[in-house]
Structure 1
Amino acid sequence: MTNADESGGSDEILDAEIVPTPPTGPAPGTLPDPDYTDSGVPTFDFVRDKIENRITTAIGSQELAEASAEGQSVDEMMRKRDEAAKKRLEEIRKSMGS
């Protein structure tokens, strides 16, 4: 038995076609995304704008929370707690000094 008989094939030569791989990158006729480089890395301006947007959103959320009734009541509770803590600390210091 020969090598070709064992694999179940024959010794005939097959004709094949080489298919080129498609180019990478943006499709022809489309504009590249201005926020990213050709290699897919975000630009400095894009990252800076994103950070600034998050900061302004956080500041705005804080201002809204402080302006609301719930935010004001939380501030009042914190103030009362801090005063009570100061008074208690004074009591402890007086009792240790005596």
Structure 2
Amino acid sequence: MPEPTGPRTPEPVDAEIVPDPTPAPAPPATGYDERGVPSLDYVRDKIEGRYATSIGAAELAEGTAAARSVEEQEAERAAKAKAKLDEIRRSMGN
């Protein structure tokens, strides 16, 4: 007998229903009291961490070629501005 050429329907498979595992209790939020107010130490640590991150990001940004290029452009502009100001002062003195 020839095989059917249409789409085949899969045979049913016996499956076992497994209950979801009970989720582990969430750890207590550190740095907060029972009313949800953060402690001063927690806030201080958070601020210090953000400050340290920003300082590190600034230090990394200064080390890139693009930052050096910007610094060179600023220095060149400042030198040109000083030269122009000196020229103006000389012309006013005559």
TM-score, length of structure 1 as denominator length: 0.60
Secondary structure of 2:56's partner? Answer: helix
Post-superposition CA distance 1:43-95 (Å, at most 9, x none): 11111111111111111111111111111111111111111111111112222
1:49 aligned partner, one-letter code:
D
Flag structure 1 segments of 5+ consecutive residues without an equivalent.
1-28
TM-align CA RMSD = 2.0
Post-superposition CA distance 1:15-58 (Å, at most 9, x none): xxxxxxxxxxxxxx876423122332221111111111111111
CA distance in structure 1 between the partners assigned to 2:27 and 2:51 by the alignment: 30
CA distance in structure 2 between the partners assigned to 1:70 and 1:31 by the alignment: 45
Q: What is the aligned counterpart of 1:66 among 56, 62, 69?
A: 62
CA distance in structure 2 between the partners assigned to 1:93 and 1:61 by the alignment: 42
Offset of residue 97 of structure 1: 2.4
Write the mapping of 1:19-98 to structure 2, written as runs, cut at 5 A: 32-98=28-94
Task: Give the share of equivalent positions with the same residue, in percent.
Answer: 49
2:80 aligned partner, one-letter code:
A
TM-score, length of structure 2 as denominator length: 0.62
Secondary structure of 1:73's partner? Answer: helix
CA distance in structure 1 between the partners assigned to 2:26 and 2:33 by the alignment: 15
1:55 aligned partner, one-letter code:
Y
Flag structure 2 segments of 5+ consecutive residues without an equivalent.
1-24
